């Protein structure tokens, strides 16, 4: 190999290194934890401030990286042609190897590395990216002017500023993350579960958590206190609903504490409270606010025809947030002692080892050296798609995000 060929080869390798840097830093920047970024900015971290400046206008970040990638790609292609020609080969065959090298070395490998370690990559490469953006300032300004002109021409918006925002899933993942440099906090898992429940509460409706109407737990409007006492002693219910003529026509709610001074022959309806009605499509987060404003603890749920189909208590809503409450029936000394059942709702990485998963969630699983992504692929028989799930009693594993090789993030919930 002559010196000319070595020179073209070295120049080609240099363009590959520069191309891989811009590809990697672009992926790292868009994968950076946005809440953590704002925290670093508030602390005056210089590199975080630079990244925040780039993220304020996407043309700064993506314009710089795209220019870097495309310019080095064109230069590298020509270097590859000259390298083949200096060796006596046809320069037309250079793309056969150059395309493969660019895809693997210049794109996929650095992007996978940046996706796995976004914060480290961003902080290491930010000075060079920031300097490149400053040097390309006039070019980026011209590109931004052209793109905004085209955007307005085709009916797009005219906003030049882009606020940094996070989605509900982003915030939930951030709260669930455990920083190795942070001291352990008591009850962190319970806190994460409560936060997850709060986020999912806004998507639930009254008919999803209501207690369906049961005739055995109801009283006719002409019932007496003695009749109610008999039912309460046999069922130990906190309240009874009062109906007129048919069970789906609820006319009152009766609580035992309201009947302390009542006689056995008194009619229950004289001591009943007027019901508060909500529709079955009412969102739980709105109902929770109405509980507070109306100072109520129980609502009667109506269907689209105005018929009572269930009851929804404030306790039921709170249990959706803090966990379901069950009675400890095997202890005769404390029959009414409530126990909090463990309700799991977490998001884990597909790279988590099966052994780590089994230890964290206290279940028995085989294949400790496999990842959860590999386990899902084995059980499903194919590379999982978003929305597919498996049940590992008592847990349900739902695939949320995927990559080309398997599951990226997995939602773990209690299988009820």
Q: Given a cut of 90, is residue 75 above it in pLDDT?
A: yes
Is residue 13 very low, low, confident or very high in pLDDT (cuts 50, 70, 90)? very high
For residue 291, give the H/E element and its range.
Answer: helix 284-294
**DSSP-assigned letter for residue 144:** H
Across 408-412, average pLDDT = 88
**In Å, what is the CA distance from 59 to each residue of 21, 126, 139, 296, 347?**
18, 16, 11, 53, 32
Is residue 416 very low, low, confident or very high in pLDDT (cuts 50, 70, 90)? low
β-strands 246-254, 240-244 pairing: antiparallel
Q: What pTM was estimated for this model as a whole? A: 0.45
Provide the greatest CA pair distance for the chain. 113
Res 15: pLDDT: 94
The answer to whether 342 and 325 are in contact (CB under 8 A) is no
Q: Which tokens sit at 354?
A: 């099966």
* More confident site: 326 or 190: 190
Please measure the distance between the N-terminal and C-terminal CA atoms of the chain and give it in whole angstroms: 69
**In Å, what is the CA distance from 275 to each residue of 245, 303, 316?**
16, 15, 17
Determine the length of the chain: 416
Quote the mean pLDDT of the chain.
Answer: 80
Q: Given a cut of 90, is residue 70 above it in pLDDT?
A: yes
The full set of domains in the chain, from first to last, is: 3-153 (no CATH), 168-177+185-201 (no CATH), 206-327 (3.10.580.10), 345-414 (3.30.465.10)
Strand order in the sheet with 298-302: 211-212, 308-313, 298-302, 277-279
Across 134-155, average pLDDT = 86
Task: Point out the least confidently predicted range of 7-11, 29-33, 201-205, 251-255.
Answer: 201-205
Q: Which tokens sit at 377?
A: 């692929």
Res 168: pLDDT: 55
Instruction: Give the model confidence (pLDDT) of 103-131 as tens digits.
Output: 999 899 999 999 888 889 999 999 999 99
The C-alpha atoms of residue 56 and residue 48 are separated, in whole angstroms, by: 12
Is residue 327 very low, low, confident or very high in pLDDT (cuts 50, 70, 90)? very low
Is residue 51 very low, low, confident or very high in pLDDT (cuts 50, 70, 90)? very high
**DSSP-assigned letter for residue 363:** -
Pick from 322, 305, 306: which is nearest to 314 by CA? 322
Is residue 216 very low, low, confident or very high in pLDDT (cuts 50, 70, 90)? low
The C-alpha atoms of residue 198 and residue 317 are separated, in whole angstroms, by: 10
Res 211: pLDDT: 84
Is residue 101 very low, low, confident or very high in pLDDT (cuts 50, 70, 90)? very high
- 291: exposed, middle or buried (Cβ count in 10 Å: 0-12, 13-18, 19+): buried
Res 133: pLDDT: 93
* Contacting residues for 234 by C-beta, under 8 A, at least 6 apart: none
Across 36-48, average pLDDT = 86
Q: Given a cut of 90, is residue 346 above it in pLDDT?
A: no
């Amino acid at each position: 190999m002559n010196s000319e060929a070595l020179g073209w080869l070295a120049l080609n390798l240099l363009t590959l290194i520069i191309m891989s840097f811009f590809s990697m830093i672009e992926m790292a920047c868009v994968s950076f934890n946005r809440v953590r970024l704002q925290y670093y900015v508030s602390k005056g971290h210089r590199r975080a401030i630079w990244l925040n400046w780039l993220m304020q206008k996407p043309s700064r970040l993506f314009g710089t990286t795209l220019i870097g990638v495309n310019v080095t790609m064109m230069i590298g292609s020509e270097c590859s042609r000259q390298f083949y020609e200096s060796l006596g080969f046809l320069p037309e065959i250079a793309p056969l190897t150059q395309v493969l090298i660019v895809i693997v070395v210049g794109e996929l490998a650095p992007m996978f590395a940046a996706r796995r370690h976004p914060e480290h990559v961003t902080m290491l490469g930010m000075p060079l990216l920031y300097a490149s953006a400053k040097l390309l300032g006039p070019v980026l300004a011209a590109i931004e002017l052209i793109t905004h002109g085209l955007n307005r021409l085709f009916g797009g918006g005219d906003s030049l500023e882009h606020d940094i925002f996070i989605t509900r899933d982003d915030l939930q993942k951030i709260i669930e993350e455990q920083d190795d440099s942070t001291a352990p906090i008591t009850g962190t898992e319970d806190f994460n579960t409560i936060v997850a429940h709060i986020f999912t509460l806004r998507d639930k409706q009254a008919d999803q958590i209501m207690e369906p109407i049961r005739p055995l737990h109801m009283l006719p409007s002409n019932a007496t206190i003695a009749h109610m006492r008999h039912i309460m002693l046999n069922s130990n219910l906190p309240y009874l609903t009062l109906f007129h003529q048919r069970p789906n026509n609820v006319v009152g709610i009766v609580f035992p504490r309201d009947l302390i001074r009542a006689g056995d022959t008194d009619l229950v309806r004289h001591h009943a409270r007027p019901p508060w009605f909500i529709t079955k499509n009412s969102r739980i987060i709105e109902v929770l606010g109405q509980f507070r404003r109306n100072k109520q603890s129980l609502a009667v749920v109506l269907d689209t025809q105005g018929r009572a189909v269930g009851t929804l208590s404030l306790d039921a809503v709170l249990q959706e947030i803090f966990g379901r409450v069950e009675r400890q029936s095997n202890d005769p000394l404390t029959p009414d002692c409530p126990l909090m059942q463990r309700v799991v709702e977490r998001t884990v990485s597909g790279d988590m080892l099966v052994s780590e998963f089994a230890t964290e969630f206290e279940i028995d699983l085989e294949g400790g050296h496999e990842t959860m992504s590999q386990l899902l692929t084995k059980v499903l028989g194919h590379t999982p798609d978003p929305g597919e799930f498996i049940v590992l009693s008592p847990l349900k594993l739902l695939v949320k995000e995927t990559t080309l090789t398997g599951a990226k993030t997995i939602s773990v919930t209690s299988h009820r």
